[in-house]
């Protein structure tokens, strides 16, 4: 019996954060709107720009003042992360009303396998995608684009390189059309290729996606191992992975970082931030049932023109999610590597994660159990009364950031 060919859709929300803001405030409909952080706290980065703002050359990721030079009349809106999460959840529910196989890829992208439900709604995948697109627009005011193919790779390439560029925003890419639509594109436009990989590929004479697709696999495997095969398979539209609800459930790392509201030059002030972030990282690890064996610290210097700072990590003999243990390692890494120059960004992460229900107990040391009990009590108080219901005294100093961060989601105000 022949296996039924799959039909997979990648649906993407156009300028998602900006679109949510425009849907909420109709008077912004024809205005060049950007969503950006708070410039007074040096977090004024463009998180999203509507198509009108983009027509002036505004780009996601650039600093706000540069964007305003390109488009002085831009409407600047600070992010409302809780709203974006709620709208994203609503959109997911809409797509789930058409198929039970929906895999969230990011807050504004999701894969959907239409193979076994398409016959209930439409004669073909494009018509079904248009129904989904229309329902999303009717209920949220958000314009969605959809790329369709026989697997996740093809649907992603189709969405990024075709559906986003055409009127209607929906296209079905067949595998035999790769050479017509995808292979002529510059290699940097391919999913998974960053600037560093682009430079390596250029040195090999690989300029387009088609060049990569037609490079002998053995040559790529010899240079990059399994990663070489991954990018070759993407270029050739090969992907056997299913659309599942649990693909992104397993975390590899739990971390947090923040851009400081001012340059921090005193070590004791930076220690306060390290403790605040370590507390948050360990609390999240405990909530998710993980502990980690690797603690990493990243520090960025205050000079934007000359890149300074470091990123270092330490492997622990036993995994942990105890706040004081992680903070002690983070502090040690900081003092071992800090050059004494002002700091503008601090990050801490916990990786090499494993199940926190299993850990080594020493009969010669009970201090860890005491520290676990302290963390447990603090977690219970925060769960019941809120994140800032109990804080360490250092968090209340001028250097502390715990209270400000408690008002945010993903580093942005709710």
Annotated binding site for Mg(2+): 12, 108
Residue 148 CA to residue 173 CA, distance in Å, equals: 6
Residue 150 CA to residue 113 CA, distance in Å, equals: 9
Residue 383 CA to residue 377 CA, distance in Å, equals: 10
For residue 9, give the H/E element and its range.
strand 8-13
Whether 13 contacts 144, CB under 8 Å: yes
Active-site residue identified among 109, 150, 280, 325: 109
Residue 205 CA to residue 156 CA, distance in Å, equals: 25
Residue 230 CA to residue 197 CA, distance in Å, equals: 13
Q: Can you tell me whether residue 71 is helix, strand or coil?
A: coil
171 contacts: CB under 8 Å, gap ≥ 6: 126, 146, 147, 148, 158, 162, 163
Task: Work out the end-to-end distance of the chain between its first and last CA atoms, rounded to an integer number of angstroms.
Answer: 52
109 is catalytic: yes
Q: Which of the residues are catalytic?
A: 109
């Amino acid at each position: 019996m022949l296996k039924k060919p799959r039909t997979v859709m990648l649906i993407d929300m156009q300028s998602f954060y900006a679109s949510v803001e425009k849907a909420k405030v109709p008077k912004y409909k024809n205005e060049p709107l950007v969503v950006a952080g708070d410039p007074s706290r040096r977090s004024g980065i463009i998180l999203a720009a509507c198509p009108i703002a983009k027509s002036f050359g505004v780009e996601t990721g650039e600093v706000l003042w540069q964007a305003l030079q390109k488009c002085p009349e831009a409407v600047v809106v600070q992010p409302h992360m809780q709203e974006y999460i709620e709208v994203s959840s609503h959109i997911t529910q809409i797509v789930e009303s058409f198929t039970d196989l929906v895999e969230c890829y990011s807050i504004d992208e999701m894969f959907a396998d239409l193979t076994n439900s398409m016959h209930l709604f439409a004669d073909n995948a494009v018509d079904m995608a248009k129904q989904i697109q229309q329902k999303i627009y009717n209920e949220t005011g958000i314009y969605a684009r959809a790329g369709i193919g026989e697997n996740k790779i093809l649907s992603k390439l189709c969405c990024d390189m075709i559906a986003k560029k055409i009127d209607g925003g929906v296209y079905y890419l067949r595998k035999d059309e790769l050479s017509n639509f995808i292979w002529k594109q510059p290699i940097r436009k391919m999913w998974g290729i960053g600037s560093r990989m682009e430079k390596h590929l250029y040195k090999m004479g690989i300029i387009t996606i088609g060049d990569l697709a037609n490079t002998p696999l053995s040559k790529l495997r010899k240079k990059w191992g399994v990663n070489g095969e991954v990018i070759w398979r993407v270029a050739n539209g090969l992907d056997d992975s299913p659309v599942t609800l649990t693909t992104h459930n397993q975390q590899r790392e739990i971390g947090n970082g923040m851009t400081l509201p001012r340059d921090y030059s005193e070590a004791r002030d930076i220690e306060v931030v390290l403790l605040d972030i370590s507390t948050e990282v360990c609390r999240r690890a405990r909530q998710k049932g993980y502990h980690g064996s690797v603690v990493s610290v990243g520090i960025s210097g205050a000079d934007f023109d000359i890149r300074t700072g470091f990123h270092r990590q330490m492997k622990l003999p036993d995994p942990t999610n105890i706040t004081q243990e992680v903070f002690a390692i983070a502090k040690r890494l900081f003092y071992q590597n800090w050059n004494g120059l002002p700091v503008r960004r601090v990050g801490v992460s916990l990786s090499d994660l494993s199940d926190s229900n299993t850990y080594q107990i020493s009969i010669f040391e009970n201090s860890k159990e005491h520290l676990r009990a302290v963390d447990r009590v603090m977690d219970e108080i925060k769960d019941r009364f809120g994140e800032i219901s109990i804080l360490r005294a250092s968090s209340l100093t001028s250097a502390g950031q715990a209270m400000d961060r408690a008002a945010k989601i993903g580093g942005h105000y709710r």
